[in-house]
Structure 1
Amino acid sequence: MPVLTAASIAKYKPHPTKRREISDSKAQGLYLVIQPKPSGRKSWAVRLRRVVNGKIKTAKITLGRVDDPEVEPTDDPVQGAALTLLQARALANEIDRKRARGIDVVAETKAEKKRNRTAAADRAANSFGAIVREFFVDYRTKRDTRPRRWREDAGALGLRYPPDSDPAKVTPEVIKGGLAEKWADKPIAEIDKYAVDIEVDEARKHGSTGRARKMYSALSVLFNWLPLKYGVDINPMIGTKSKPRTPDRRKRTLDKAEIKLFWQACDKIGGVFGPLYKTLLLTGCRLREPAGMTRVELGDGDWEVPPSRTKNNLLFLVPLPQQALEIINSVPAPPVTKNDEASGHNFGLVFTTNGRSPVSGFSKMKEALDAEMAKIAGQPIKPWRVHDLRRTFSTFLNESPDDGGLGIAPHIVEACLNHISGEAKKGVAGTYNAAKYLSEKRVALQRWASHLRDMVGDKPTNVVDLPSKPRGR
């Protein structure tokens, strides 16, 4: 029986097809195991005999792979880790001593492996990477619906879901450099306020304050949702120093001259985006509401925005004025492919470029719109955001006719905006007031369309091609 040395271990080569086992005379049952080519991996194992049900059986206990450091480690050897010759002998001798005391080392090793596998499974299940996915599958608002912008929250936490997908049925893409990648294997209970501060500050430095704010907000909702079964008894968001400052409330509106520039620029960019932006100003809707508009929703001219696209998750009726219908009907129809015809698909989207999904790429088109406005004006324009169109709509409807507005009753303006926080709808009043104010909204929106037409200089059209689709219910 040979005496193994560091030099002889290095000299032993793998067999082309067979596994090699070389015993060591200085440790009971210790073997150097060399796997065949191409891996040729070297490891340590102890072979022994044991009595099972009155019969002698052989058993093998793997100790770990061979390690050949320049300096012998001084720490205690651990089964399963990389081991030098001296460490492997120490473990083999320890196994021999346990057997001498009557301990079933094989059963003990199997139990330890099972404990390790269970612990690893628990760590994986309780890791940030696993829990953040579970969060987007299970989390619901007070209305028992998914948050309106859950995909944005997922992106802030490092996950990208396909459009119109169900997080319970698809596997998201892990965004490179995002939290879901950085904290993939990090136990959720080990995430503290210092770790949160580092990541939020990083998002602010290398992204923007807005990005940092979204990440902070998404993490706050996540950790408020986590049950105690995940071992999180202290919310790491409490006491963080990196909470981004809440931005000042915006007051920006477009004046009459800017509205005229805006309208002319919409004509210039055309396509589906020009009519979409015009529809936003005419209706005061949020961007995602008309962006997903379908012909079925239009019915006989009263546009039904489904709860899935409204902020308050309530059905929203918008009595479209004639001018809005003209604009919607001017949108070029998307191309229909042979595959669409064969499958019978008729998505009926209004603002789309492919006929299958709502239009996207708003940031680039907003830049194009700004460029056209500046070109028409002959000078740089004052910065504005798409949501400022909604504020402009509300301001002109509320403003007195003496000041250039329409003087619409505030509760009707709130109804046009799909708000339920006005005096006529909030608290107890909202419990007993179920009025939709559809007639009043129709008058208000038509007055606004006429007022807007006078501002931008559009000539009225008497012919409107109403859609023939039945109203969806």
Structure 2
Amino acid sequence: MPAKKHRKELTATMITRLKAPAAGRLWVADSVVPGFGVRVTEKGAKTFVLRTRYPGETSASRREIGKVGEIELTVARDKARNWLKLIGEGKDPARVEAEQRRSQVAKDATTVDAVLDAFEKDHVEGLRSGDQVKAAFTNHVRPRIGEKSIYDLKRSDITTMLNEIAAEIAAESRKAKGERDGKVMADRVLAHVRKAFNWQMVQDDDFKSPIVRGMAKTKPKERARKRTLADDEIRDVWAALDQMEQPACYPRYVRSLLLAMTRRNESARMHTDELESDLWIIPGSRYKNKQDHVIPITPALREQIGDKPDGCKGNSWYVFSTTTSGGQLDGAKPFSGFSKAKKELDAIISKIRKAEGRAPMKQWQLHDLRRTGRSLMSRAKVDADHAERCMGHVIGGVRETYDRYEYLDEKRKAFEALASMLDMILNPSADNVVPMRAVAEVAR
């Protein structure tokens, strides 16, 4: 049965009120755009349609523009006008749109976002610093140039991005009354993006990275941190950790960074499978120099490791974890909420110092605890080579064989000296006060 015909200027309200015909289809033509209208089926389905003679056809036919509800009237009407224009030029709208879709798919495959997705999957996943690289892309790169085609990128796009990152970080630091250098963060992001683009160039003959020498905002020596915590700052950190309730593992985790002189993820991913009696063996697969690193567990460090989580069903768990099962900690995943917890810790430190009428604590990072531990070993008269070994640094060049248990006794004494020095700082008395002094020794 042929559709019933009506012709009037369509409105959204009118279309909403259209009822399904008892039989056949209802056709309401628009008086604004020739051939454009709405078709209503017996079941009430409403569709925008353009009736005209398309290129290659001998008679007029109707083609769907879109379903009512999925596309607005104004958009459908504009699309109909565009179709009529293409038809007037002898072009089939279906073929033109298909080509546009193919072009868009090809373009989407070469956006910065697509390249970063592939780079993360192929190169970043599994790296110790993988989370940091992904965060840099998510927070700083994708929002600024993610939708751009890599073939359209210009050096000015990279420069603008870096300037914006530096300004954003600096503004956030000023607001928090900190001293974070936005230029350093911009250069870290630049390094990550450079690696991603170099990776793309290896497999793409047509792509040339827009990153060139001279884009960095700082020099290597300027980026190297030398911050160590003074005695009063160590006491403030420990006092603030005593006040933190959540995450429950965070105080123990932070203290372990100083007592074991480890990097952030090395302690965060400590697992009971790595503990052998009184030794913590960090496997080379997750250590910077790719070699196993053995840390003697002092009583002070043992206290931070703690006991088995109540919700853990086996004998294997992550030491620092916030995951739960049945409302109880189970140690199933390693701790990862660094940023939120660090902000809470800094807020407590600020409160402590303000209450005592002291100036705000200079901006610091968790990695500064590793450097602080090294300086405390120097104050405790630990042999420099043994202190370096405690940090996992290789002494005397690359060896043909590597004995992970070498100098174990010397390392144990060094870590015990560190724990004793820390105890004197945290519990000062007339007999054990150690004068604060700057130590130029910085971890390499």
TM-score (norm 1): 0.64
Instruction: Check the 8 A contact 2:108/2:114 in 1, yes or no.
Output: yes
- Once residues 169 and 279 of structure 2 are traced to their aligned partners in structure 1, the CA distance between those partners, rounded to angstroms, is 42
Q: Is the 8 A contact 2:65 2:80 kept in 1?
A: yes
Q: Does 1:408 align with 2:383?
A: yes
What's the counterpart of residue 449 of structure 1?
Answer: 419
Matched, 1:196 2:172: no
Shift of 1:149: 1.9
Q: Deviations over 1:182-233 (max 9, x none)?
A: 5454322112222222333223333341543443232222211113665653
1:462 equivalent in structure 2 = none
Is the counterpart of residue 432 in structure 1 residue 400 in structure 2?
Answer: yes
Given candidates 126, 131, 138, the residue that maps to 2:110 is 126
Residue matched to 2:295: 318
SS in 1 for 2:116: helix
Q: CA RMSD in A?
A: 4.3
CA distance in 2, matches of 1:40, 1:110: 17
Per-residue deviation at 1:136? Answer: 0.6
Alignment of 1:418-429 (within 5 A): 418-420=392-394, 422=395, 424-425=396-397
Deviation of the 1:110 alpha carbon: 7.0
- The code of the aligned residue for 1:254 comes to L
SS of match in other structure, 1:352: coil
- The whole-number CA distance in structure 2 between the counterparts of 1:122 and 1:268 is 54
Tell me which of 334, 346, 358 is aligned to 1:358. 334
Q: CA deviation at 1:349?
A: 2.6
The separation in 2 between residues aligned to 1:251 and 1:116, in whole angstroms, is: 54
Determine the C-alpha separation between the residues in 1 that align with 2:284 and 2:297: 18
Please state how far the C-alpha of 1:256 moved relative to its aligned partner: 4.3
| 2:218 pairs with 1:245 | yes
SS at the partner of 1:414?
A: helix
The residue correspondences of 1:200-239 to structure 2 (distance < 5 A) are 200-208=162-170, 209=182, 210-227=184-201, 230=204, 232-238=206-212
| CA distance in 1 between partners of 2:49 and 2:166 (Å) | 48
1:41: which partner in 2?
A: 48
Which residue in 1 is equivalent to 2:438?
A: none
Aligned to 1:102: none
1:387 aligns with 2:367: yes
Residue number in structure 1 paired with 2:436: none
What is the identity, as a one-letter code, of the residue corresponding to 1:217? A
Q: Computing the radius of gyration over CA atoms, which structure comes out larger, 1 or 2?
A: 1
**Counterpart-to-counterpart distance in 1, 2:223 and 2:189:** 19
Offset of residue 23 of structure 1: 12
Structure 2 CA distance for aligned equivalents of residues 288 and 93 of structure 1? 64
**Post-superposition offset of 1:129:** 2.6
Letter of the structure 1 residue corresponding to residue 413 of structure 2: V
- Does residue 156 of the first structure (1) align with residue 124 of the second (2)? no
* In structure 1, distance between residues paired with 2:355 and 2:258: 19
Q: Residue 10 of structure 1 corresponds to which residue in structure 2?
A: 9
Task: Determine the structure 2 residue equivalent to 1:367.
Answer: 346
Distance apart, 1:123 and its partner CA: 1.4
- CA drift of 1:286 comes to 1.4
Q: Distance in 1 between matches of 2:211 and 2:141?
A: 15
CA contact (8 A) 1:272 1:352 kept: yes
User: Relative to structure 1, is the Cα distance of residues 281 and 156 closer, same or farther in structure 2, using a 3 angstrom cutoff?
Assistant: closer
- State how far apart, in whole Å, the 2-side matches of 1:154 and 1:266 are: 29
- Offset of 1:258 from its aligned partner? 4.5
Cα offset for 1:303?
Answer: 0.5
Mapped contact 1:46–1:63 kept (Cα < 8 A): no
Relative to structure 2, which stretch is displaced further, 280-289 or 450-459?
450-459
User: Which runs of 5 or more structure 2 residues have no equivalent in the other structure?
Assistant: 1-6, 67-72, 171-181, 324-328, 430-444
Query: C-alpha distance in 1, partners of 2:356/2:274?
Result: 37
Residues 58 and 365 from structure 1, CA distance in 2 versus in 1: closer, same or farther, beyond 3 angstroms?
same
Q: Deviations over 1:235-273 (max 9, x none)?
A: 1122675x4325443323234454455555544547533
1:49/1:59 contact within 8 Å kept: no
Residue 304 of structure 2 is matched in structure 1 by: 328
Length, aligned pairs only: 375
Q: Work out whether residues 47 and 64 of structure 2, in 8 Å CA contact, stay in contact via their aligned partners in 1.
A: no
The unaligned stretches of length 5 or more in structure 1 are 1-7, 25-29, 51-56, 70-79, 96-104, 159-174, 460-473
Aligned to 2:317: 348
Question: Is the 8 Å Cα contact of residues 189 and 231 (structure 1) preserved in structure 2?
Answer: no
| Pairwise CA distance, 1:319 | 1.0
Cα distance in 1 for partners of 2:350, 2:390 equals 30
Quote the Cα distance in structure 1 between the aligned partners of 2:203 and 2:354.
59
Residue 302 of structure 1: aligned partner: 279
Structure 1 contact 45–64 (Cα < 8 Å) conserved: no
CA separation in 2, counterparts of 1:117 and 1:294?
49
**For each residue in 1:15-55, what CA deviation from the matched residue of structure 2 results, as whole angstroms up to 9, or x when unmatched?**
7443649799xxxxx954533377552535425887xxxxx
Instruction: Give structure 1 regions of 4+ aligned residues with deviation exceeding 6 angstroms.
Output: 11-15, 21-24
1:94, 1:280 → 2: CA distance?
A: 71
Contact 1:253/1:388 (<8 A) preserved: yes
TM-aligned CA distance change 1:21 to 1:363, over 3 Å: same
Q: Secondary structure at the match of 2:194?
A: helix
Q: Does the 8 Å CA contact 2:39/2:48 hold for their aligned counterparts?
A: yes
- Using the size of structure 2 for normalisation, the TM-score is 0.68
Q: Identify which of 220, 226, 229 aligns with 1:254.
A: 229
Deviation at 1:322, TM superposition (A): 2.6
Could you tell me which amino acid in structure 1 is paired with residue 151 of structure 2?
Answer: A
Residues 292 and 350, structure 1, Cα contact 8 Å, conserved in 2:
yes
Is the partner of 1:205 in helix, strand or coil?
helix
- Describe the SS at the equivalent of 2:53: strand
